[in-house]
A and B are shown apart, each in its own frame.
Chain A
């Protein structure tokens, strides 16, 4: 019978014998990843660190530098500008840490200016309500005077009104919405080149509190998923398999995150989804292998576990290679054709597929062998202890 073969079905290669070398490589990679994560740290996307991200579509004749200048003129001094998609599309992605026109530094500056007016009791600003500031003076002030002092710090579009009870010198300062300023600012900077071409296509603002919340729920979902899978494998297979499966996953997630740092991929919500997909994918591989080990063990008789595992590896290797190949084929297409978000997602998946395939063979199975050895040792030791106890008991 004629058929293509990626890997011979009756191969007897000593795959598990390579576990020492691969183990060392993996440990080195994991340590490197942890070091990278601890020092440079992951590049959190807008979703997680808070800030504003916008995509604008302008006339294709507009250059990067012009967009950068325009962003700076609006007051987005920390803005990063990058092209989004092909040059002919005229799309730019602009990211800034700011979610409102004022931040803590600016607030300090404003406080200073207000202090100069005298009688200032308190100037309250909360980053959860960044477009307002509450002032309390010990004597009546002129709202125009307050406004002037704030405008002098470089802010425009500020309004001041009296608040509280009439006899109290309470004032509320309102700063205009950042989003209006951005929209109007770009329209002003580029004129028709902005409005005619499409203008503001996407604008995303995430408050710092929301960012923190999302980060936590992302983390929680990964941990819960890992635990749930651990329990499922324990239940479906037995305890020997659990550390291998989870160890491989931890290995994958760590190295993938490390690679994200190297490749400067931003950790956003879709990337968290990608990480979870990597977990699912790697697990898929691991389970196919474990399933085979379990099946082979049932009719292995007295054959040492390590040999059975090696056999199962040889048997499943062709499937693992083909699956990885086909999935990589599909995902690579997305990485090439797709844009923006979906492209990052695809790159994350490619990383995950490669690491996941590797880890199911070289991490999961060896760990399983180790766990088996450990359990056997413990059982042996327990038997010896019991025996010693019994002997002692007899002698007393």
Chain B
């Protein structure tokens, strides 16, 4: 029969497609582990694999194998909250100083103060001369499109930030934080990290299969907000400032002359120095600290701990330039000393600023600082206009340590500091053995449960029960294929979802069979009519039941978090494949059976 052939065709195509999609998973599993690394790369496997000629690395091409979730594979799950309000506040503070600057450009000698009260979303501008309010023309305001002019006192003006822009800034802060974290994680080399937004301002990071020794490093890299600053050293004030302590320094402190004639107060401990200088730095100046190693054996890098000391610099508090302007950073090796260092490239604006600074302060020292530590304080010999700079790292460590430190610094520099502070909220570490045990026990449960259900169906419905068993098996294959096709990860709640789907698929068959039986027993209808009516009348019940469960699953998908979403996705895929197998495929099998069977009875 033609229509029967067509219907069988649909089933066969679905089955073959499912098998095809599942092939990578089967290849992956051929070595007993679903870990993304195939057991062999020959034969069929070569169709789905791509080998990188240069590195010999094997990657999947096209269809991916099913991956296991964190709870099954082991790994690290982190959730961070992004303090998006801080990004808005920072933006406003920066705008306030921009505003003053731009007004000074408009009118020289203008008396103006732009203040951004903390926690508020506006800037208050106070003018010395009320007539200067005229400067805030529409044309001028185009420089600050996100600020709305509000009316206020005679010589004051309130500029409110556009609510849309606030939302945009917040959203941007989260997106940027995700990007920043992603690039830092990528540098860590974890396979298949997943970094996703959760709700309005949270970020969920999943690092499956991460090594335990890497967990701390990952957390450190993610949370790092280190910012590089370029601050000028106060060459003129240095000697006078440090010189005033001559003869008054406590035990352990010393006044030395460094960098060819500049004074510096030194001590073995940085903490002692910090304590000493607390509150002593003059206005607009800050103290920078730098470690000065003294070697016993320079060749092997052995430091004399007794002789080495920390030295101090008097630097301007304000930074000429920050790490924000860095376009690229990389690790390079100093050929002369065979030591890794970090090489920096500024972006156009940064290069311009750097050029201007080095031009203005030629002959003076400037400090490259991370927090309060001076990385280096070279003298500017000539204006540096190309926008390139170098950072050398602490000399007390071994080559590999410096190399690692340089790499970490590069990661932070290259991707910038985070746009807003983040705070860890949620952390889960799952060891690999617990994951394996979970898989084993839930798989066993799935197997035993399915066998019991199948046994029941075979005993209760006999031959018809056999048909459901075929449909059920196909259903499981299709669900797995569906999961593999959308690149879902298999989690523990996901397996629970599959178990539930199996239950629902059996239910669909039970509804149909009970209806057929009823038509036979109560309706006393002939076998073929009973089968037809059974299917037809049961259909609406099966459909409605699956759709309502589908609604619940959709809601879960929308509002649920990590593990619950996994459950919802499996359930949704399961509903579709259940409707296909339990109704469509079962029907075909029944019709086929009816055609062959000459008897007037039904094994149901």
List residues of A whose CB falls within 8 A of some B CB: 1, 3-4, 9-10, 55, 57, 85, 89, 91, 128-129, 140, 142-143, 161-162, 165-169, 179-180, 198-207, 209-210, 213-214, 217-218, 220-221, 224-225, 228-229, 232-233, 236, 269-270, 272-273, 276-277, 279-281, 283-284, 287-288, 291-292, 295, 315-316, 318-319, 322-323, 325-327, 329-331, 333-334, 336-342, 345-346, 349
CA distance A288 to B537 in the complex (A): 11
List residues of B whose CB falls within 8 A of some A CB: 71, 79, 81, 199, 202, 216, 271, 274-275, 277-281, 286-287, 317, 423-431, 433-434, 437-438, 441-442, 444-446, 448-450, 452-453, 456-457, 459-460, 492-493, 495-496, 499-500, 502-504, 506-507, 510-511, 514-515, 517-518, 520-522, 537, 540-541, 544-545, 547-549, 551-556, 558-564, 567, 601-602, 604
Q: List 5 A-B contacts (CB under 8 A).
A: A270-B492, A273-B496, A273-B556, A283-B545, A326-B510
- Complex contact A284–B551 (CB within 8 A): no
Nearest-neighbour CB distance to chain A for B131, whole angstroms, equals 37
Which interface residue of B456, B496, B517 has the most chain A CB atoms within 10 A? B496
- Complex contact B423–A217 (CB within 8 A): no
- Complex contact A200–B429 (CB within 8 A): yes
Q: Which residues of B contact A315 (CB under 8 A)?
A: 518
Q: Which residues of A contact B601 (CB under 8 A)?
A: 1
- Complex contact A287–B445 (CB within 8 A): no
- Complex contact A143–B449 (CB within 8 A): no
- Complex contact A333–B448 (CB within 8 A): yes
Q: Which residues of B contact A279 (CB under 8 A)?
A: 552
**B555 touches which of A140, A228, A287, A327 (Cβ 8 Å):** A228
- Complex contact A129–B423 (CB within 8 A): yes
* 5 extra interface residue pairs, beta carbon distance < 8 Å, beyond A4-B460, A162-B274, A166-B280: A9-B517, A203-B427, A207-B81, A280-B548, A288-B545
- Complex contact A221–B559 (CB within 8 A): yes
CA distance A1 to B446 in the complex (A): 34
- Complex contact B278–A140 (CB within 8 A): yes
- Complex contact A143–B511 (CB within 8 A): no
- Complex contact A326–B429 (CB within 8 A): no
- Complex contact B433–A327 (CB within 8 A): no
Task: Kindly list the 10 A-B residue pairs having the minimum CB-CB distance in the complex, ordered from nearest.
Answer: A330-B449, A201-B431, A221-B559, A333-B449, A280-B549, A327-B503, A210-B425, A319-B514, A291-B541, A207-B425
**B537 touches which of A214, A295, A322 (Cβ 8 Å):** A295
CA distance A318 to B495 in the complex (A): 29
Query: What residue in chain B is nearest A216 (Cβ atoms)?
Result: B559
Q: For the complex, would chain B's binding face be called helix, strand, loop or mixed by DSSP majority?
A: helix
Nearest-neighbour CB distance to chain A for B346, whole angstroms, equals 28
CA distance A202 to B434 in the complex (A): 8
Query: What residue in chain B is nearest A228 (Cβ atoms)?
Result: B551
Query: What residue in chain A is nearest B460 (Cβ atoms)?
Result: A4
- Complex contact A217–B559 (CB within 8 A): yes
**B506 touches which of A205, A221, A327 (Cβ 8 Å):** A327
- Complex contact A199–B431 (CB within 8 A): yes
Q: Which residues of A contact B502 (CB under 8 A)?
A: 330
- Complex contact A205–B430 (CB within 8 A): no
Contact A327-B507, Cβ < 8 Å, known A333-B452, A342-B496 = yes
- Complex contact A206–B500 (CB within 8 A): no
Contact A169-B559, Cβ < 8 Å, known A1-B520, A3-B604, A202-B429 = no
- Complex contact B442–A166 (CB within 8 A): no
CA distance A346 to B495 in the complex (A): 12
- Complex contact A128–B423 (CB within 8 A): yes
Q: Which residues of A contact B520 (CB under 8 A)?
A: 1
Nearest-neighbour CB distance to chain A for B525, whole angstroms, equals 12
Contact A326-B271, Cβ < 8 Å, known A201-B434, A221-B556 = no
Nearest-neighbour CB distance to chain A for B225, whole angstroms, equals 13
CA distance A338 to B499 in the complex (A): 12
- Complex contact A330–B452 (CB within 8 A): yes
Query: What residue in chain B is nearest A328 (Cβ atoms)?
Result: B503
- Complex contact B556–A276 (CB within 8 A): yes
- Complex contact B552–A229 (CB within 8 A): yes
CA distance A1 to B461 in the complex (A): 12
Q: Which residues of A contact B438 (CB under 8 A)?
A: 339-342
Q: Which residues of A contact B278 (CB under 8 A)?
A: 140, 162, 166-167, 169
Q: Which residues of A contact B522 (CB under 8 A)?
A: 9-10
**B444 touches which of A168, A280, A337, A349 (Cβ 8 Å):** A337
**A229 touches which of B423, B459, B551, B561 (Cβ 8 Å):** B551
**B442 touches which of A168, A207, A338 (Cβ 8 Å):** A338
CA distance A214 to B277 in the complex (A): 47
Query: What residue in chain B is nearest A288 (Cβ atoms)?
Result: B541
- Complex contact B286–A166 (CB within 8 A): yes
Q: Which residues of B contact A213 (CB under 8 A)?
A: 199, 202
- Complex contact A287–B437 (CB within 8 A): no
**A331 touches which of B275, B499, B510 (Cβ 8 Å):** B499
Nearest-neighbour CB distance to chain B for A146, whole angstroms, equals 11
Query: What residue in chain A is nearest B448 (Cβ atoms)?
Result: A333
CA distance A292 to B539 in the complex (A): 11
CA distance A140 to B280 in the complex (A): 11
Nearest-neighbour CB distance to chain A for B40, whole angstroms, equals 30
Nearest-neighbour CB distance to chain A for B77, whole angstroms, equals 8
- Complex contact A326–B453 (CB within 8 A): yes
**B547 touches which of A232, A318, A327 (Cβ 8 Å):** A232
**B563 touches which of A217, A270, A326, A349 (Cβ 8 Å):** A270
- Complex contact A57–B433 (CB within 8 A): yes
Q: Which residues of A contact B500 (CB under 8 A)?
A: 277, 349
Q: Which residues of A contact B425 (CB under 8 A)?
A: 206-207, 209-210
CA distance A166 to B286 in the complex (A): 7
Q: Which residues of B contact A326 (CB under 8 A)?
A: 453, 456-457, 503, 506-507, 510
CA distance A218 to B453 in the complex (A): 32
**B549 touches which of A180, A283, A291 (Cβ 8 Å):** A283
Query: What residue in chain A is nearest B421 (Cβ atoms)?
Result: A129
Nearest-neighbour CB distance to chain B for A56, whole angstroms, equals 9
- Complex contact A287–B541 (CB within 8 A): yes
Nearest-neighbour CB distance to chain B for A38, whole angstroms, equals 25
CA distance A201 to B70 in the complex (A): 12
Q: Which residues of B contact A180 (CB under 8 A)?
A: 216
Nearest-neighbour CB distance to chain A for B124, whole angstroms, equals 23
Q: Which residues of B contact A329 (CB under 8 A)?
A: 449, 452-453, 456
Nearest-neighbour CB distance to chain A for B353, whole angstroms, equals 24
Query: What residue in chain B is nearest A295 (Cβ atoms)?
Result: B537
- Complex contact A323–B506 (CB within 8 A): yes
CA distance A218 to B561 in the complex (A): 9
- Complex contact B445–A342 (CB within 8 A): yes
- Complex contact A342–B442 (CB within 8 A): yes
- Complex contact A342–B556 (CB within 8 A): no
CA distance A129 to B223 in the complex (A): 13
Nearest-neighbour CB distance to chain A for B437, whole angstroms, equals 7
Query: What residue in chain B is nearest A204 (Cβ atoms)?
Result: B428
Nearest-neighbour CB distance to chain B for A286, whole angstroms, equals 9
Q: Which residues of A contact B426 (CB under 8 A)?
A: 204-207, 210
Q: Which residues of A contact B493 (CB under 8 A)?
A: 270, 273, 345
Q: Which residues of A contact B507 (CB under 8 A)?
A: 284, 323, 326-327
Query: What residue in chain A is nearest B216 (Cβ atoms)?
Result: A180
- Complex contact B428–A232 (CB within 8 A): no
CA distance A204 to B428 in the complex (A): 4
- Complex contact A179–B427 (CB within 8 A): yes
Q: Which residues of B contact A161 (CB under 8 A)?
A: 274
Contact A283-B548, Cβ < 8 Å, known A330-B499, A334-B499 = yes
- Complex contact A166–B287 (CB within 8 A): yes
Contact A288-B511, Cβ < 8 Å, known A207-B426, A221-B560 = yes
CA distance A6 to B442 in the complex (A): 30
- Complex contact A287–B449 (CB within 8 A): no
- Complex contact A284–B549 (CB within 8 A): yes
